């Protein structure tokens, strides 16, 4: 189907599920905002701060994770990120104070950089003429993790009390990441001959080779950082 080999299908499915689970973990707080506010006696302003913290480290994390992927390979990095996601989920689910929630949501923002890993993995396993289809499947199903968290986690929490339901659901999202970390490391190898010394193909990317290019790059990124600054200013 689609001209993919068995090993390519294996890599694609294992990788989009990893991406999917990191997004479930990243968005596992949103369905329980009101519940957490009531259970821990938080204000709506504190909940808004937690939501901002959830994305505060995502942009720098994606850059750092990109460096790690080039150095250590996507299999190692994605496996590590899944374990990291699990630990943060466990910490979040056991939180008893605003400060603990704040710390875990800041760390969870790092998990949002996970999609970078899969892009590298797919790029190494698929030829250019099949890259668009493979990346589309990877990104489409992976991003669905945010929507899946919104409707599935409340169902998991439903049989439990208000105090414990959100903890069970978010803890299970972490447990899923932990289980998949082992599966991914065991069954999803890096592409042969494309280890840490494999040079990244720069064909078609935006090159920043002069002060003018740097200025243009900054201008392109201003809306992203501007929106974040505006959001934080509104909260304050």
- Sign of the dihedral defined by the CA atoms of residues 181, 186, 189, 190, in that order: positive
Could you write out the three-class secondary structure of 58-107?
HHHHHHHHHHHHHHHCHHHHHHHHHHHHHHHHHHHHCCCCHHHHHHHHHH
Residue 235 has pLDDT above 70, yes or no: no
In this predicted structure, what is the pLDDT of residue 198? 45
Mean pLDDT of 84-94: 97
Q: How far apart are CA 97 and CA 102, in angstroms?
A: 9
Q: How far apart are CA 20 and CA 104, in angstroms?
A: 20
- Sign of the dihedral defined by the CA atoms of residues 57, 11, 73, 135, in that order: negative
Average pLDDT of the chain, as a whole number: 87
Which of 2.170.190.11, 1.10.3720.10, 1.10.3470.10, 1.20.1250.20 is the CATH number of 6-188? 1.20.1250.20
Whether the model pTM is above 0.85:
no
| Local confidence band at 132 (pLDDT 50, 70, 90 cut-offs) | confident
Q: Where are the domains of the chain?
A: 6-188, 208-236
């Amino acid at each position: 189907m689609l001209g993919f080999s068995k090993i390519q299908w294996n890599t694609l499915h294992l990788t989009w599920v990893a991406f999917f689970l990191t997004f479930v973990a990243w968005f596992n707080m949103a369905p329980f905002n009101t519940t957490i506010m009531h259970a821990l006696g938080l204000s709506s302003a504190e909940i808004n701060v937690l939501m901002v913290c959830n994305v505060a480290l995502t942009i720098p994390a994606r850059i750092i994770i990109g460096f790690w992927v080039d150095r250590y390979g996507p299999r190692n990095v994605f496996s590590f990120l899944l374990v990291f996601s699990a630990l943060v989920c466990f910490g979040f689910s056991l939180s008893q104070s605003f400060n603990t929630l704040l710390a875990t949501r800041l760390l969870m923002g790092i998990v949002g950089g996970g999609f970078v890993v899969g892009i590298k993995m797919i790029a190494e396993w698929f030829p250019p003429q099949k890259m668009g289809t493979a990346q589309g499947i990877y990104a489409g199903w992976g991003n669905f993790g945010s929507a899946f968290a919104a409707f599935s986690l409340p169902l998991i929490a439903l049989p439990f009390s208000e105090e414990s339901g959100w903890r069970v659901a978010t803890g299970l999202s972490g447990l899923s990441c932990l289980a998949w970390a082992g599966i991914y490391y065991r069954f999803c190898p890096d592409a042969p001959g494309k280890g840490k010394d494999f040079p990244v193909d720069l064909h078609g990317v935006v090159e920043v080779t002069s002060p003018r290019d740097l200025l243009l790059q900054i201008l392109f990124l201003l809306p992203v950082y501007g929106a974040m600054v505006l959001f934080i200013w509104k909260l304050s």
